[in-house]
Homo-oligomer: A and B are copies of this chain.
Amino acid sequence: MEIENRRRLHVISTGQQSREVLVEISKTIHPYIDMLHIREKTWTAAELIETVDELTAAGIPLRKLCINDRADIAWMKHVRGVQLSHHSAPVALVKERFPTLKVGSSVHSMQEALWACDEGADFLLYGNIYETTSKPGKQGTGIVNLEDIVLNIPLPIIAIGGITPGRVEDILRTGAKGIAVLSGIFLSEDPLEAVRAYYMAIHKEVKQLGETI
């Protein structure tokens, strides 16, 4: 049974790897993660569907899958979620017409977070918290802003951007629901070792929090 209240590890594909590599890594890491985001903006609908089929065949449950932007693919393949950004369809419209999908919204400010919340998003990806190789030169929003978002937005907040295992404790102490990682896992020399490091950092933190209560 899924424990709804526990901290979450989202992993996001990089847009830089082949389908074969994506599936192979996902197959290895999925027991440690809560959500795998297929974020491959140049892939066709047919390729995305083929990817979902291959991930499913590799034993990854549909409830752990989230498709970036393409609500139709998520809906047709019965995956758990769709992740939207400012260039996607509006959250409220997606929620209305695809009522069974979990809708994540990628936000970068309090204003965007409030808007996504009003529109009915189920969770938010907020960042980038730290400077990251995925967005070189873009300064991180930092922990203080993350805490501000967490305190003001009544939705699960998943922090993203430059998060290393060593930074997980700082992130989770803000009250963020979890973290999302791209290159830190998919582009790691050893993705299994990497995902385990994140997993342990998240669960160690939970234990410490429990001890201090």
User: Which residues of A (33-73) have their CB < 8 Å from a CB of B?
Assistant: 44-47, 49, 69-73
> How many Å lie between the Cα of A72 and that of B72 in the bound state?
5
Residue-wise, chain A 85-108 has the 8 Å CB interface mask toward B (1 for contact) of 011111001101110000000000
Interface membership of A32, Cβ < 8 A: no
Q: How many residues on chain A are close to B (CB under 8 Å)?
A: 22
Task: Select which of B69, B76, B90, B97 is within 8 A of A89 by beta carbon.
Answer: B76
Residue A75 is within 8 A (CB to CB) of chain B in the complex: yes
Chain B: minimal CB distance from A92 (Å)? 10
Complex: how many Å from CA A127 to CA B94? 34
Q: Which residues of B contact A89 (CB under 8 A)?
A: 45-46, 49, 72-73, 76
Residue pair A76, B88 in contact (C-beta under 8 Å) = no
How many Å from the CB of A46 to the closest CB on chain B?
5
A98 to B44, CA, bound (A): 19
Task: Specify the chain B residue showing the minimal Cβ separation from A69.
Answer: B45
A72's closest neighbor in chain B, by CB?
B72
Least distance between A38 CB and chain B CB atoms (Å)? 14
Query: Is A76's CB under 8 angstroms from B47's CB?
Result: no
Residues of B within 8 A of A75 (CB): 72, 97
A70 to chain B: which residues have CB within 8 Å? 70, 72
**Additional 8 contacts, C-beta under 8 A, given A71-B76, A72-B73, A76-B97:** A44-B87, A46-B89, A46-B90, A70-B70, A70-B72, A72-B75, A72-B89, A75-B97
